[in-house]
A and B are shown apart, each in its own frame.
Chain A
Amino acid sequence: MSKKVITEADIEALARDGVIEVVRGMIVTPLAREHASRRGIRLVYGGGSVPSSEDIPRDPVSGAKGPVTPDLVARVTEEVARALSGVSDRDARTTPEAPQDPDRPPLPPGDQVPAPREARERAVVVAAGMNRPGVAATLTAAISDCGADIQDISQTIVSDFFTMILVVNLDTLGPGWSFRTFKDRVESAGREIGAETVVFHEAILRAMHRV
């Protein structure tokens, strides 16, 4: 199977709406990856293999999506687990456990497609204040209003004082929302119910606490 090498010069030409779908047989050079990230172009890996909600056939009468078969659930779960563990579709195929593609020898190190995690935007929401009913509900409602998806919550309550830390995926932000407007919305929602709320980008935590 022939492979196509994507260089820095190809990035702009291949981008559709700021996204390049990287499919099997494409090799993206490190310089091209850097260039894409500089130009704000996202690389989406394993294009087509992740079932999207649009793949689910709709019921012709009610318009509802369905049926959700056990097979579909299993496929989605597998993809999500793989994404979360930071192993790309292609890495998974080259691990010893996975069946080897006979005409695709394992890639030398350094030529691996990076995990999809690279493209993910996350925010961290920290709220602190006197505990009262509705704090968590207000914050999570504000987050879901923006279309963001909560990935992790931790909460501590000492006597009447609470601290809540939420890690939120921003890739699903609704149309018209940006990091800035999300931050404003969630911070003001927190303050309205008396919780000091700070929203910042996850990258700063990753930089300071993960090597």
Chain B
Amino acid sequence: MLYRPDEVTETLRMVEAEHLDIRTVTLGISMLGCPSKDPSSLEAYVFDRVTSLARNLSLATAEVEDMFGVPIVNRRVALTPMSLVLEGAPPEAYPRVADAMDRAAAEIGVDYIAGYSALVHKGATPGDAILMRSYPEVLAATSRVCGSVNLASSRAGINMEAVAVMGHVFSEVGRRTPNASGCARLVVFANAPEDNPFIAGAMHGVGEPEVVLNVGVSGPGVVLAAIERHRRMDRRMDFASLAETVKRTAFKITRAGELIGREVVARLGPPVQFGVVDLSLAPTPARGDSVADILEAMGIERAGAHGTTAALYLLTDAVKKGGVMASSSVGGLSGAFIPVSEDSGMVDAVRVGAMTLDKLEAMTSICSVGLDMVAVPGDTPPETLAAIIADEMAIGVANHKTTAVRILPVPGTRPGDTVNLGGLLGELIVMEVKPHDVSRFVGLGGRIPAPLTGLRN
């Protein structure tokens, strides 16, 4: 027998009942070859290059979806951080290029295009500063453009001046877009990976080849189902067997992800190369497709309760180990995502008060990203937003890991209010922020030095 019936039905069950899908295939395109700093030529270059290289992305993914029966939920495009391409161009070029990105994404049928980004972990150039200050205008005027700023690294420390700027930027974007939804397309990082396929932090790093396809696999529902099956069948479930179950499942998901990614690359043809599989457990608002539900299946009554950080550690570590055995091309963020709004279990946990901003912050020292899709009242001072960002950057820098903040200050809301963003972005409960003043600390200026462990040579 070529395949045992239980192997065939397991694959079918994962796809049909447990939401196994490829969360995203993201085409990274280098923009470093742009020959001009003239706004019109920049606009034309960006639009033409994206539309010509990514033209077949939707068709190729649809064909592969059909072939393997595994849904590919999103197709996205990531570009070289635009601050590098635009450095030296006049300030009016910035929004025009963002508009060209928006139009190109619409033209090829992708919902998000990322890379309106800057890398300022040690300091900002004049171009970086223009780009960061253009976010409120750009995010209000476009619907598909995503931006990210790398504010800190374990080698350089934390650029606190840029952190302070981004506190104001988040606040302003929150005011200028309905329900602060523009903030969902803006993220700040410590140790940003150059090959992350996930929106909004995707970018095509400077160390990447010309055109590369990265795959973000998902599957919290599959892991959840595996744990629940394991619990039903084996009453003596202990931590080792729990980790083993997650590892095996992550292995299978990753193998499927790499196969699908390579098949899409084969269809797109040169110059597209296969990049990485990012084995992040990325939840969706769909019931059962939740990381919080996995933590609860391990025996924690509500995500956010004491013990949550330990459970998340077990999960993230086992996912990485299973994935690394399955593929030699693992990259990106690779771990467990805990975006609040995009995970129905997390939303429930916030609603009943089990999950707070402080607990989330503790969990970000373990998970793959950070404070992700968190809503706070719109009248939160920009300095307090900057301080929230600074805390998160410190966790990343000190632990040599990626951390990020994607925070939505929603105007006119109070803690406990519900904000519905719709679609994949889901529903948010506004969280409580401490009222104490931190503006003197945030305003000290300069850079927090890199940790001793950053000096590894």
Contacts and interface: CB of A to CB of B under 8 A. Distances in A.
A204 B3 contact: no
A207 B259 CA distance: 7
A24 interface: no
A61 interface: no
Nearest to B258: A207
A208 B266 contact: no
Interface stretch (A94-102, A103-111, A138-146, A149-157): A149-157
Contacts of A126: 8-9, 12
B287 interface: no
B256 interface: yes
Interface centre among A126, A167, A201, A208 (most CB of B within 10 A): A208
B234 interface: no
A179 interface: yes
Contacts of A208: 7, 10-11, 252, 255-256
Interface in A173-196: 179-180, 183
Interface string B91-107: 00000000000000000
Nearest to A37: B266
Please classify how large the interface on chain B is, using the bins under 10, 10 to 19, 20 to 34, 35 or more. Answer: 20 to 34
Contacts of B263: 203
Given A204-B256, A205-B11, A207-B255, A163 B69 contact: no
A205 B4 CA distance: 10
B384 to A, nearest CB: 47
A200 B67 contact: yes
Contact of B7 (A179, A180, A201, A209): A209
B2 interface: yes
A142 to B, nearest CB: 18
B interface, by DSSP: helix, strand, loop or mixed? helix
B358 interface: no
Interface residues of A, number: 27
Contact of B70 (A39, A179, A204, A209): A204
B269 interface: yes
Contact of A165 (B3, B252, B260): B3
B66 A165 contact: no
A200 B69 contact: yes
25 contacts: A38-B266, A38-B269, A38-B270, A126-B12, A154-B1, A154-B5, A165-B3, A165-B5, A180-B63, A200-B67, A200-B69, A202-B2, A203-B259, A204-B11, A204-B68, A204-B70, A204-B256, A204-B259, A205-B8, A207-B256, A208-B252, A208-B255, A208-B256, A209-B7, A209-B11
The 9 A-B residue pairs whose C-beta atoms are closest, nearest first, are: A200-B69, A207-B255, A207-B259, A204-B68, A208-B252, A209-B7, A201-B67, A152-B2, A167-B2
Interface of B: 1-3, 5, 7-12, 63, 66-70, 252, 255-256, 258-260, 263, 265-266, 269-270
Interface of A: 37-40, 124, 126, 151-152, 154, 156, 163, 165, 167, 179-180, 183, 198-205, 207-209
